[in-house]
Amino acid sequence: MPAIESGSVTNRIGALRRLMDKEDLQAMLVSSLSNVRYLCGFSGSSGTMLVTRKSAWFFTDFRYKEQTKQEVRGCRSRILSRGLFADFPVEYIRGVKRLGVEQDHMNIATFNLLRKRLKGPKLVPARDLVLRLRRTKDKTEVALIRKAQAVTDSVFRWLLDNTRPGVTERELGAEIEYRFKRHGESAFPPIAASGPNSALPHASPSDRRLRRGDAVTFDMGCRRDGYCSDMTRTFFLGKPNDDLRQVYLIVAEAQKRALAGIRPGASCAEVDALARDYIRDEGYGPYFGHGLGHGVGLLVHEQPGLSHKSKDRLAEGDVVTVEPGIYLPGLGGVRIEDMVLVTRNGYENLTKSPKELIEL
């Protein structure tokens, strides 16, 4: 990941401090590596941050001494010799009464170790403070997501040219990962599902060989310079089954209706309903069992969530997926997923791959 600009780090840490004030926290221990990366730019596998009202520190071990010099911005750093928490420098939190810890990223053993070592402050489980900040993408983040999606679009073009009867799902999945690694890495294990396997929303690539008439679904995303893309496309090898052809058209229309509802202030649950209600009215309600979409950023699943249970509202700067699907057991399934940026007046579709019904 390119070195994060010091100004961006200063703004992000300042925004975190304002959230800490609302939660009455004098200090915050950030242990999620994706949150650490967001706040200071560190991309390694061992690091934590301490943010107080007046200072910010990054801690890691000897293995990352040089990497810290290259990547970390906006805070002071220190190399610890006995582990991030066993050697935690207690002197930095003198006078702190309430120390926030990321409850979703700290196990009980670490929590108890800290509580024993830090005798002064009360450890306060805190959720989602940094995730709230990460939800709104700045121009630099959007540019990196665009690059990741451009790679994904290029891999899909390769798939259109090279997917044919006889090749296995596993071979196609391996090709996807190889092509992503030429530019970064896979954001998640890709899905390459054919025939009846395409009715499994999270199918793993198998040794099944593709056959004429199959629906073929690819769900894939690249991580480049830390930021992710996410896209799903379904196409057919030759003429599809009439039911699946109709399902494709229904899913495409459902996505079109949901996209029309994307704008700042829109209820995520209501956007979900634009697709879900249409699929239900067409008689396929029981076959669309997952949420409509999710946020994307440093992780492939972030805030906000688009589902019938969501209480979120979309905001300018959100990057979210819109991915309705219908899955018919034993026959096949269709999912179409785009990744969009919520803009002041609506949205921008960051996904450029074709969505029309394709018969290879």
Which CATH number covers residue 179?
3.90.230.10
Please give the pLDDT value at position 295: 98
Please give the pLDDT value at position 119: 79
Tell me the percentage of the chain whose pLDDT exceeds 70. Answer: 98
Same domain, 43 and 155: no
Least confidently predicted of 89-98, 112-121, 312-321: 112-121
Per-residue confidence band for 302, with pLDDT thresholds at 50, 70 and 90: very high
Mean pLDDT along residues 168-180: 98
Please give the pLDDT value at position 5: 64
Which pLDDT tens digit goes with each residue over 81-112? 887 888 888 888 888 999 999 988 888 888 88
What does pLDDT average to over the chain? 94
**Between 128 and 257, where is the model more confident?**
257
Domain hosting 78: range is 6-135
Please give the pLDDT value at position 3: 53
CB 316 within 8 Å of CB 135: no
Has residue 231 been placed in a domain?
yes
Please give the pLDDT value at position 117: 80
Please give the pLDDT value at position 2: 53
Please give the pLDDT value at position 61: 94
The pair of three-digit structure tokens given for residue 274, joined into one six-digit string: 């634009």
- DSSP E strands, the chain: 27-30, 48-52, 56-60, 76-79, 98-102, 122-126, 185-186, 191-194, 215-220, 222-224, 227-228, 231-236, 293-295, 302-306, 319-322, 325-328, 332-335, 338-342, 347-349
Has residue 358 been placed in a domain?
no
Please give the pLDDT value at position 321: 98
DSSP line for 171-200? HHHHHHHHHHHTTSEESSPPEEEEGGGGGS
Has residue 204 been placed in a domain?
yes
**Between 12 and 6, where is the model more confident?**
12
Same domain, 148 and 122: no
Least confidently predicted of 94-98, 184-188, 286-290: 94-98
Same domain, 155 and 217: yes
Please give the pLDDT value at position 127: 80
* Residue with token string 């990196």: 144
Which pLDDT tens digit goes with each residue over 250-277? 999 999 999 999 999 999 999 999 999 9
Same domain, 237 and 285: yes
Same domain, 195 and 293: yes
Cα 306 to Cα 10, 154, 314, 319, 341: the distances in Å are: 31, 27, 9, 11, 14
Question: Is it the case that residue 171 has pLDDT exceeding 60?
Answer: yes
**How many domains does one find in the chain?**
2
Has residue 104 been placed in a domain?
yes
Please give the pLDDT value at position 148: 98
Tell me the percentage of the chain whose pLDDT exceeds 90. Answer: 86
